Amino acid sequence: MIYTAFIKGKNYRFPDLATLLAKASPRRSADELAGIAAESELERAVAQKILADVPLQHFLDQPLIAPEVDEVSKLILEQHDAQAFTAIQSLTVGEFREWLLAGEHDLSAMAFAFTPEMVAAVSKIMRNQELIAVASRCQVISQFRNTIGLPGRLSTRLQPNHPTDNPRAIAASILDGLLYGSGDAVIGINPATDNLDNVHTLLNLLDEVINQHQIPTQSCVLSHVTTSMELMQRGAPIDLVFQSIAGTEAANRSFGIDLAMLAEAKAMAEDLGRGSVGQQVMYFETGQGSALSANAHHGIDAQTCEARAYAVARAFSPLLVNSVVGFIGPEYLYDAKQIIRAGLEDHFCGKLLGLPMGCDICYTNHAEADQNDMDNLLTLLGVAGCNYIMGIPGSDDIMLAYQSTSFHDALYLRQLLNLRPAPEFEAWLNKMGIFNGHNCLANDQSKQRFLNQFKSLPQF
Amino acid sequence: MKDAWHSLTEFTPARIAQGRAGFSLPTEAILEFQLAHAAARDAVQQNWQVEQFNQSLIASGFETIQLNTLVSNRVQYLQRPDLGRQLDQSSKDLLQSYSDSNYDLVMIVSNGLSSLAIDQHGLNLLKSIDLAFQNSPLKLAPICLVANARVALADEIGSLLGAKSAVILVGERPGLSVADSIGAYLTYAPKLGNTDAERNCISNIHSPDGLSYSLAAQKLAYLTSQARLKGYSGVLLKDDDVSSTYIQQNFA
């Protein structure tokens, strides 16, 4: 369908829904690189005005990619809850925005009434404060060995990476993180290499640390899903299966995955039965621009592609999902303004679609951003009720060569917004003398017992 | 004040046990971080003296070919990854003149996001790779040098040469702790349109804290021979080499 308008003496014409969405998208370098962005501020504002009048029903009637050629499109239609949708069926995108802001509706019951394209569309005509306010009303709780996403809680992924995966170096960073109260979302290592023996060694290390100290958390080595599957067959102690995912079948193929493969991996990990309070075994990462980077975006803008990735994620009831928002670089998100906007959009879209969203609040050294910008996004996402953030020693990932949030940053949000760790983990921190019972670090003396215990690991 | 476990910093260059002021970092740690960020930002902008590098290779007995992408300057390189994935016309013509040489492997070197990385480690890494392939029957193409390339440029170079495999050594983006790291990407049967799932990556090659030249070279030789044996590279080609794992280096 063609979308047209006559505004300020000029005719505007957008040949299809994908074009309209791209032109209405807040400015970002990814869409400019793809040649699909608005060519002027006026064209963007006009596209947003037209988009606001599009009925939500159009997104069901006009799939952005035909379901016959794209399994993500097919999945989106299969997931759709037509029954719940009846409550919003008659709304346009603009009316949907007001429906969300009215604050009168239970959003969690509506997660599958919304499609990725609907939430992406409405986000494009919402201001940052609205993305924050609406997302803060969505609670998504997930469980494996603890409970993540409860109100008033903030979890952290402890990310102890090292450029050669040296177990002793990694153990030192883990200890540092635990002593700062980090690690309840997951202790998750990005391996420098997918070498099977190497990944197996790291999995054993994490299993040993968690078991020896009875830490109510889960581990993950973020290798390719096929590596995790091979290692599960070899008996490796895998809590969570990780995979990067994207919003089109072709982009997922460029990652070497498809939906069937993810389903198989999930079933294998569930069979291991390693969870205690829950069995949500999947961990996904995403990021705007990944489909473009794989040359697999089908003319769809980066933010809408990203929301489509969340349809993939929610098909597997994950424990954790986070956008790695600034990781991809300035060709996709040019500066802090774009990174901050994208971070808020991703959290909003993910939460509306029913995902336990965290965020890797981050930037690379070739982007126009710095740690102050991350402080801003960190604070905004804290207010928005983000489930978890990253914890990296001093914000500096010495293997992936980018900067994220630190153990200290989590302390900042905890103190400022009175956000506590997952309850099981908080109890453990208090018991070990790491926290003082009041959501604050204890003094060094009280940590000494745990420190001595930890140093008895064979790695030291 | 630093933390009681500060002695553990001997095991890792990570910014651990830095201590705190309230919830935040001590002043010294904050200023050190900003200094490192400034240095990394400057490193990204640094141009590559490719002719100088070329001379050092020739002096060490390597045969080379110099190529160009469509990128005209460093700022454009950062903003237009598509241009860094394409050769200019004269480079294409030059490569076509080598196309009946039946090469098994072409090695490509580019500064990527860190000119410093290639200047510091490029020559030594190539020497180690040369050594690792010494007893191999593979026919190697001259080393292709090309400034401001993206990884996927290896597909075009490999296919124009008709090489069975392509490896690109490229400067990785500078981090705060390491600004001179090299990544190596292997693609079997390189052709335009290869996806990242069809590549194997060996990252974090730098000294002294990264993957050593010799282990990187061994791993590359292992993956290249496995790719030839199986007829593919990428996520399905698992690195199952127990002889050259990092464990060797980590516990050496």
pLDDT surpassing 80 at residue A460: no
CATH number of the domain within which B219 lies = 3.40.50.11240
Tell me how far apart the 2 most distant CA atoms of chain B are, in Å.
68
Residue A146's nearest CA partner among A405, A429, A354 is A429
Q: Count CB-CB contacts under 10 A for residue B104.
A: 16
**Average pLDDT, integer, range A153-157:** 98
We report the CATH number of the domain holding residue A433 as: 3.20.20.70
Q: Which of residues 98-157 of A touch B (CB under 8 A)?
A: none
Model pLDDT for residues A70-98, shown as the tens digit of each residue: 999 999 999 999 999 999 999 999 999 99
Higher pLDDT, B242 or A110: A110
DSSP B139-173: -BPPEEEESS--TTHHHHHHHHHT-SEEEEEEEPP
Which of B182, B195, B205, B240 is the best substitution to test chain A (most A C-beta atoms within 10 A)? B195
pLDDT bin (cut points 50, 70, 90) of residue A179 is very high
Residue B38 included in any domain: yes
For residues A253 and A111, state if they share a domain.
Answer: no
Shared-domain flag, residues B241 and B222? yes
The CA-based angle A64-A68-A72, given to 5 degrees, is 55
Chain A nearest CA to B81, separation (Å): 7
pLDDT of res. A436: 96
Domain encompassing residue A56: 3-135
Q: Which member of A172, A331, A451 has the closest CB to residue B78? A: A331
Q: Do residues A259 and A330 share a domain? A: yes
Per-residue model confidence (pLDDT) at position B52: 97
Same domain, A147 and A128: no
Q: Are residues B105 and B21 in the same domain?
A: no
Whether the ipTM is more than 0.90: the answer is: yes
Residue B185, in any domain of the structure: yes
Domain closes at, from A79, A114, A135: A135
CB contacts of B6 in chain A (<8 Å) are: none
Whole-number pLDDT of residue A154 = 98
**In this structure, are B31 and B106 located in the same domain?**
no
* A4-14: average pLDDT: 93
- Domain annotation covers residue B180: yes
Q: Are residues B184 and B245 in the same domain?
A: yes
pLDDT for residue A393 is more than 50: yes
- The total domain count for chain A is 2
Q: Are strands A186-189 and A155-158 parallel, antiparallel or unpaired?
A: parallel
And the tokens for B117? 């990385």
What's the pLDDT at B238?
A: 84
Q: In this structure, are A327 and A205 located in the same domain?
A: yes
Same domain, A88 and A229: no
User: φ and ψ at B125, to 5 degrees?
Assistant: -65, -45
Residue A46 and residue A148 in one domain = no
CA distance B100 to chain A (A): 31
Q: What's the gap in Å between the CA of A11 and the closest CA on chain B?
A: 31
Helices then strands, counting H and E runs in chain A, come out as 21, 14
* Domain range for B34: 6-44
| Same domain (yes/no): B90, B187 | yes
pLDDT of residue B141: 96
Smallest Cβ–Cβ distance between A294 and the set B13, B196, B247 belongs to B196
Is A264 in the same domain as A400? Answer: yes
| Residue that terminates a domain, selected from A85, A104, A135 | A135
Residues of chain B with pLDDT under 70: 242-252
Q: Are residues B31 and B97 in the same domain?
A: no
Residues A278, A415 share a domain: yes
Q: Nearest CA to CA, how far is B13 from chain A (Å)?
A: 8
Residues B17 and B84 in one domain: no
Q: Do A157 and A44 share a structural domain?
A: no
A177 and A98 in one domain? Answer: no
CA pair distance B252, B245, nearest whole angstrom: 12
The proportion of chain A whose per-residue pLDDT surpasses 70, expressed as a percent, equals 99
The answer to whether A227 faces chain B, any CB pair under 8 Å, is: yes
State whether B72 and B96 are in the same domain: yes
- If asked whether residues B125 and B80 sit together in one domain, one would say yes
Do residue A29 and residue B240 have CB atoms under 8 angstroms apart?
no
Q: Does B147 lie in the same domain as B120?
A: yes
The helices-and-strands tally (H runs, E runs) of chain B is 8, 6
Report the CATH number at residue A96. 1.10.220.70
Answer yes or no: do B106 and B64 share one domain. yes
Q: Averaged over A377-403, what is the pLDDT?
A: 97
Same domain assignment for residues A111 and A217: no
Please indicate, yes or no, whether residues B69 and B14 belong to a single structural domain of this protein.
no
Mean pLDDT, residues A110-132 taken together: 98
A-chain CB neighbours of B36 within 8 Å are: 396
Total domains present in chain B = 2
Confirm whether B199 is domain-assigned: yes
* CB-based contact A388:A322 (threshold 8 Å): yes
Interface check for B206 against chain A (CB to CB < 8 A): the answer is yes
A209 and A82 assigned to the same domain: no
pLDDT at B245: 53
